[in-house]
Amino acid sequence: MTDSTPIPDNFATRLISWQRQHGRHDLPWQATRNPYHVWLSEIMLQQTQVATVIAYYLRFLELFPTLPDLAAASQDQVLAAWSGLGYYSRARNLHKAAQQIMNVFGGKFPQDVQQVAELPGIGPSTAAAICAFSFGQRHAILDGNVKRVLCRFFGIDGFPGQKAVENQLWQIARQLAPQQDIEAYTQAQMDLGATVCIRGKPQCLICPLQQDCVARQQGRTTTLPTPRPKKAIPERETVMLLISDGQRLLLLKRPPTGIWGGMWSFPEVDSTLAAENWCLTHLGMAAEALPPLAEFVHVFTHFRLTITPLPMRVAKAPAVNESTCLWLTPAEANAAGIPAPVRKILASVHGT
């Protein structure tokens, strides 16, 4: 597409008409204009499929029914409610933003899109969606689904994550946003990208935009959007120590930022050879190392982590600083804010 390429006048109206007939209407966050509910759904839906989000969304609102409830909760409580959903910085930022809204805006969710975008973990596209669904404001969104639809419809080359391509897509998205029915239009873009103009095999025959889609006309639906340039995925290894006193396991609180920030996890060492020394150094006692369990791979966005669980036994649990260490039963550990690999290990060892 070039700057002189015309923007179809009926792009938005076609999408709105399609959404009203074929789009999604029964998602739990669609029946409200409560900005707290809308915001929560938009954060949970970042990089996570709708089918996975629904149960977490409903349970989260049971635990934290209002924004003040969320702000007043501890980070441990928030991370425990988020446990298993992944990308835990979303939960930490959600909690920080709730506290910021209480402190800066008196507990009232801001309606200015720029103020919303500046809250922790939100950004311009999510802020636009929140303001459209909560307040009916006309703003363009540009999430992954919208990028895919626009790249295919207008035949835009280049990886959408590159700044120049993203700027072009923002310009188009803003031009396309209609003056009316912005809620239906915003939902239509999300629905079309999630159910019809999908990444693998787009359902072009039922797409309301098919007749003008450049990718369809040129047979390029499998090559647009341009994929991210490939880079070798780094490989890392760790040994997780399952230190037990026979009834309880030792968990450590991870640093507030970084991988699994603020969550509870097993102690880690670089190799099984370092395990006994860790116990002597940190617990002041020896521990018996048992045969390691089967290693497994946990995949992050930017690297792959091979985890070797190593059971260890101490004769008696020493006293620990409970702000950074806890002795927990498997059931208590499962109720805490733990990352998915820890939950997987607990399930394999204790069936919890």
Q: Which 3 state secondary structure label does DSSP give 326?
A: strand
Q: 6: Cβ–Cβ under 8 A, 6 or more apart, which residues? A: none
* pLDDT number for residue 2: 46
11-217 in CATH: which number? Answer: 1.10.340.30
Structure tokens given for 329: 């039963």
Say how many CA atoms lie within 13 Å of 61 toward its Cβ: 16
Question: What would the mean pLDDT of 305-327 be, rounded to a whole number?
Answer: 94
Which residues, in sequence order, are CB contacts of 281 under 8 Å at separation 6+? none
This prediction has a pTM of 0.85
Instruction: State the number of CA atoms in the 13 A half-sphere of 293 facing the CB.
Output: 21
Give me the percent of the chain exceeding a pLDDT of 70. Answer: 98
Structure token digits, residue 163: 């700044």
The tokens describing 112, both together, are 């200015």
User: Distance (Å, rounded) from C-alpha 131 to C-alpha 202?
Assistant: 29
Average pLDDT of 224-235? 91
Which position among 42, 62, 118, 235 bears the catalytic label?
42
Do residues 46 and 87 touch, judged by C-beta distance below 8 A?
Answer: yes
Give the domain ranges of the chain: 11-217, 235-350
Residue 166 annotated in active site: no
The 10s digit of each residue's pLDDT in 10-68 is: 999 999 999 999 999 999 999 899 999 999 999 999 989 999 999 999 999 999 999 99
Topology, domain 235-350: Nucleoside Triphosphate Pyrophosphohydrolase (3.90.79)
Check whether the bond before 309 is cis (ω within 30° of 0).
no
Q: What gap in Å lies between CA 75 and CA 344, rounded to an integer? A: 22
- Each residue of 101-128: b (16+ CB within 10 Å) or e? bbeeeeeebbeebebbbebbbbebbbbb
pLDDT of residue 1: 45
Residue 257 has pLDDT above 50, yes or no: yes
The model's pLDDT over 116-173, given as tens digits with 9 standing for 90+, comes to 999 999 999 999 999 999 999 999 999 999 999 999 999 999 999 999 999 999 999 9
